[in-house]
Amino acid sequence: MITSTHISKTYGNIQVLNIEDLTIPKGQSFGLVGNNGAGKTTFFNILLDLIRPTTGEIINHEIAVSKSEEWKTFTGSFIDESFLIGYLTPEEYFYFIGDLRGMNTADVDTFLQPFEEIFNEEILGKKKFLRDLSKGNQKKAGIVAALMGNPQVIVLDEPFANLDPTTQIRLKKMLKSLTEDKEVTVLISSHDLSHITEVCERIVVLEKGNVVKDLNTSEETLTELESYFSA
Amino acid sequence: MIRHFLRLEWKQYFRSAYWQKGIALKIILGFFALYMMLTFSAMGFFAFKALKKFFPESDPLQIVNSYLIFAIVADLIFRYMMQKMPIMNIKPLLILPIQKSKLVHYVLGKSAFSFFNVMSLFFYIPFSIVLIGEGYDTNGIFAWLFSMILIIQSVNFLNFLINKNNKAFWTLVVVLLGGFALKYFNLFDLSAMSQTLFDGIVADPIMAIIPLGTLLLLYRINYKQLKSQVYLDAAVSVKVKKANTADLSWANKFGDMAPFIKNEIRLIWRNKRTKTVFLMSFIFLFYGLIFFTNPMYEEKMPTFLIFASLFITGGFVINYGQFIPAWESSYYSMLMTQNLRYRKYLESKWYLMSVITAVLFFLSTPYLYFGLDKFLMIAAGAIFNIGFNTLFLLYAGSFNRKKIDLNASGLGNMQGTSATQFLIIIPIMGLPMLLFWGFSSLFNFNAGIISIAIVGILGIAFKNYFMGLIEKKYIKDKYVTIHAFSQTT
């Protein structure tokens, strides 16, 4: 369970985020939507303790993220390409992350096997550094790395952007199956309303840092979101 | 159209990371540029007199002319290594309604004004003025200077042609070395040919038409070649190097630190700038030769020998250590979301710096030739580098707030430099010099050396304690560092 209380972030006198209370139960697939500057990435950055909130705190499975680093053992994340180490090959990157998450080389190899289809022979064994891969392939590598080591919480910022259609569909399936047995909590943000309604059971709309809608996904959610954003 | 291009150039120049630096750095870079210009101009002004003095029977212009061919070839080799055609700049312009021929003329024309072409003029122009002042034929000298400019430009364009060709490069090296060898053994005098050629231009200004023709021809070839390659999959493409993956499993014996150490090795080896730093640290090994061969230092300023001794083994610690953790600025926030122990992360860097310093110390044993006292100085310096400088630079690193783009070029790249870099020099070099000066003037030479070594040994002995302090500082500064590193410069 992730509990966020009175989280706000202010730069100078501009408030970029202000969320009163937000609780994400364990096993939920949680979606965050909003236009540019709505505060989605800021929220994720605070959750990952990459920036400090001006007020409030986030508790990730009973751990206050700004006080202890224990949450790192069960949280996997991918925010953007800057999370990749450009001068490593994808394999080396996976082994490095695996090392940090207590997986040996064989574990990593086994872990990667089911992703071979997604990688489409463009990522593994190509003798290319991550910095030289296309945006889409970089994203694939980053997302897969975020799933390593059986994380209980997975945070993905805009996971669908830049992905090819096949991978988008596979990723959607994968994210849905992850939350099926209510063990893993998945948090994603997206600009694509249809993707996010398909994957997430709950969708929160941010506007200028405030929560303006908190919906349990149903048949009408997509239409509701579309009409909200076209207004 | 040209107006648009010039405006873009102007903005590119003044908005580049280069100008976004702190004022102190700008001043230092400014002074450096000024220094180069003044040196070249001074050479230009005084070359005539100096040559006249050392070779009273010869005509100074003829001496210069006889060596010009070598200067030109050397210039070409230097450019081959340093100068690249600035072709990537036109990528955003390709999809705009601009004719390709214009883009190509723009790229080529722009290269004519590069640093490499301007620098040597600071020599040739004052030299020509002096020549005219000395009563040489004005028309002849003008033709000579004009030819020099044309030749510099020809070299500029010739470089672009051979740039993709290693054979051409080695041919040039062979010509240069062979030329010197032939001259040395008096077999064939390339310099006589050079002299005939350039004397000819002075005597008969119309001969300047030869370099003019050469330049036009080379420009034409460049133009044709480039124009056929203005495509994303040809000239305007980023070259992707094949990844060489070496097996680093031997590093596994470092246990918890292994992943970081492996990463660090790859960081150093696969990025231009870090690789330059690494290779330069071996060049620093020779630094002592400047000081130890000059008896003046030993007699008058022995403290400066300590300075040299520190540099001999400290090239890596100083040049690499001062940019920790900025080397990893581009993915620093990722590291902070990983389940990593800060201590291990920092310790891996400490080990790497210590091991490389130890290797450099081992390689410095030939300095025994200059006497045991010199070698002991180097040994004390090495202990100080391992014991004090590694820890101090790790600590100082937590003040680094400047991002480093690893993909940017190596030599002369000052990215990530801030006032911190100038301040840290004081303790890492000044402290041992002060210690030596104090103890050796109070007691004797040995006391001076021992005092430096003791500081180093104390650092090693209390390493864990200091590491704890450093770790705390890094954790405390985490958010500020992440924020600073995520700023695009």
Q: What is the DSSP string of B273-304?
A: HHHHHHHHHHHGGGHHHHHHT-HHHHHH-THH
Structure tokens at A33: 């939507």
In terms of C-beta density within 10 A (0-12 exposed, 13-18 middle, 19 or more buried), how is residue B349 classed? Answer: buried
Q: Is residue B241 part of a domain?
A: no
The per-residue pLDDT for B116 is 80
The per-residue pLDDT for B461 is 94
- Helix B138-162 and helix B190-203: axis angle, to 10°? 130
Cβ(B251)–Cβ(B237) below 8 Å: no
Identify all chain B residues contacting A50, using CB atoms and an 8 Å cutoff.
Answer: 333, 336-337, 479, 482
Whether B221 and B326 share a structural domain? no
Q: Does the pLDDT value for residue B236 go beyond 80?
A: no
Q: Are strands A63-64 and A55-60 parallel, antiparallel or unpaired?
A: antiparallel
The per-residue pLDDT for B95 is 73
Between B168 and B326, the higher pLDDT residue: B326
Instruction: Give whole-number Cα distances, B216 to A144, B103, B142, B375, in Å.
Output: 56, 18, 20, 58
Final residue before a domain boundary, out of B192, B227, B262: B227
What's at B337, amino acid-wise? T
For A130-148, how does the pLDDT look when each residue is reduced to its tens digit (9 = 90+)? 888 999 999 999 999 999 9
For B378-434, how does the pLDDT look when each residue is reduced to its tens digit (9 = 90+)? 999 999 999 999 999 999 888 888 888 776 655 556 666 666 677 788 888 888 888
- Helix B390-397 and helix B303-321: axis angle, to 10°? 50
Q: Give the Cα separation of B330 and A83 in Å (integer).
A: 8
Look at chain B and report how many structural domains it folds into: 2
Whether B349 and B309 share a structural domain? yes
Whether B36 and B114 share a structural domain? yes
Domains of chain A, each with CATH number or no CATH: 2-83+152-230 (3.40.50.300)
Q: Is residue B233 part of a domain?
A: no
Q: Does the pLDDT value for residue B17 go beyond 60?
A: no
The shortest CB-CB distance from B331 to any of A48, A84, A91 is to A84
**Structural element, H or E, at residue A16:** strand A14-24
pTM surpassing 0.90? no
Name, of B115-119, B239-243, B382-386, the range with top average pLDDT. B382-386
Residue appearing with tokens 């398909």: A198
Identify the closest residue of chain B to A48 by CA–CA distance. Answer: B337
Final residue before a domain boundary, out of B168, B192, B227: B227
Q: Give the Cα separation of B473 and B102 in Å (integer).
A: 55
**Structural element, H or E, at residue A154:** strand A153-157
Identify the closest residue of chain B to A53 by CA–CA distance. Answer: B479
State chain A's mean pLDDT as an integer.
90
Measured torsion, CA atoms of residues B108, B114, B116, B117, in degrees rounded to the nearest 10: 70
Confidence of residue B467 (pLDDT cuts 50, 70, 90): very high
Final residue before a domain boundary, out of B191, B212, B227: B227
Whether B142 and B280 share a structural domain? no
Nearest to A151 by CA among A91, A47, A95, A71: A71
Q: Is residue B232 part of a domain?
A: no
Whether B218 and B257 share a structural domain? no
The shortest CB-CB distance from B338 to any of A72, A91, A127 is to A72
Nearest to A199 by CA among A214, A177, A183, A223: A177
Between B450 and B83, the higher pLDDT residue: B450
Whether B469 and B358 share a structural domain? yes
- A132 and B406 within 8 Å at the Cβ level: the answer is no
Q: Is residue B360 part of a domain?
A: yes
To the nearest whole Å, the CA of B362 is away from the closest chain A CA by 30
Q: Give the Cα separation of B126 and B2 in Å (integer).
A: 32
To the nearest whole Å, the CA of B320 is away from the closest chain A CA by 17
- B267 and A87 within 8 Å at the Cβ level: the answer is yes
Q: Is A73 on the interface with B (CB under 8 A)?
A: yes
The per-residue pLDDT for B25 is 65
Regions of chain A short of the pLDDT cut 70: none
The per-residue pLDDT for B384 is 93
Domain that holds residue B180: 2-227
Q: Does the pLDDT value for residue B297 go beyond 90?
A: no
To the nearest whole Å, the CA of A182 is away from the closest chain B CA by 24
**Structural element, H or E, at residue B53:** helix B23-54
Provide the percentage of residues in chain B whose pLDDT is more than 90: 19
Q: Which of A44, A47, A85, A89 is the best substitution to test chain B (most B C-beta atoms within 10 A)?
A: A85
Whether B115 and B204 share a structural domain? yes
Whether B167 and B56 share a structural domain? yes
Whether B223 and B265 share a structural domain? no
Q: Give the Cα separation of A153 and A1 in Å (integer).
A: 9
Identify all chain B residues contacting A73, using CB atoms and an 8 Å cutoff.
Answer: 339
Whether B373 and B442 share a structural domain? yes
Whether B30 and B73 share a structural domain? yes
